[in-house]
Structure 1
């Protein structure tokens, strides 16, 4: 019997409160003429915070995940003229590495946060995204 027969789809959920707080931080620094702290990333208006909540901890993106971490930004897109059943395109980050990174991190985290940047004409109000995993069966 196949050990990976059930799929679980996890939606990226907007974190409106955290996005608002981070935008207020930027505004406060600008008003006071302050500088960001070492290592602090400031949120820009075209960016928003999203999170994934893991309810099941038996996700498998691929058998034998290599465990390498994605560094830098991953860019994923689908042209407006294509329907929802069209595969998402990507570059700058291999889709498999993205999945493997999530698989590794979900073992130790209940929630994972993502900073998403939007191009002109797209934003949190029109954006829906999820990631699907195979759930291991015992």
Structure 2
């Protein structure tokens, strides 16, 4: 999806199957009254797995996040260093990348606000990861009344 001349816009796409599998894992542990593995991150109700498929991996420069919130609330985007496999290896806390990019819209507000320094640093890390990955996974956390249906997000690179 092209935005402008020389720009490459890649959407964050919800991975419904992986999200469902990971939530089932959390549910299963809870039902069996078992504890997660040491350091394992279990998906909470407001957390969803998304992915970006890099159609191009080299000569990318991060330009901006393109985030649209259709109602007030807060969205946190956390990258993962994990390369998921179909057998669903468990997500460990150490695989979550810092910093998270946080975006929000205040009630009555028209514009999306964000923590600029963190979002920029995170975007620049994506460029490095794109060189070695064709797919990258993210954990999106919705809060303050926001849900997946209220959000459209993508990341824009200069190609």
Question: How many Å separate the matches in 2 of 1:94 and 1:18?
Answer: 26
Q: Check if 1:73 corresponds to 2:68.
A: no
Structure 1 segment 5-16 matched on structure 2, within 5 A: 6-16=6-16
Residue in 2 aligned with 1:66? none
Question: How many Å separate the matches in 1 of 2:117 and 2:37?
Answer: 28
The alignment yields a C-alpha RMSD, in angstroms, of 2.0
| Equivalent in 94, 118, 131 of residue 118 of structure 2 | 94
Give the count of matched residue pairs: 121
Structure 2's unaligned 5+ residue stretches are 64-96
How does the TM-score come out when normalised to structure 2? 0.68
Deviation (angstroms), 1:127: 1.6
| Structure ranking higher on relative contact order (CA contacts 8 Å, 6+ apart) | 1
Deviation sequence 1:73-105 (CA, Å, 0-9, x none): 33122346455xx4x422285222111100000
Please state which structure has a larger fraction of its residues in strand: 2
How does the TM-score come out when normalised to structure 1? 0.78
Deviation sequence 1:101-121 (CA, Å, 0-9, x none): 000000000010010110132
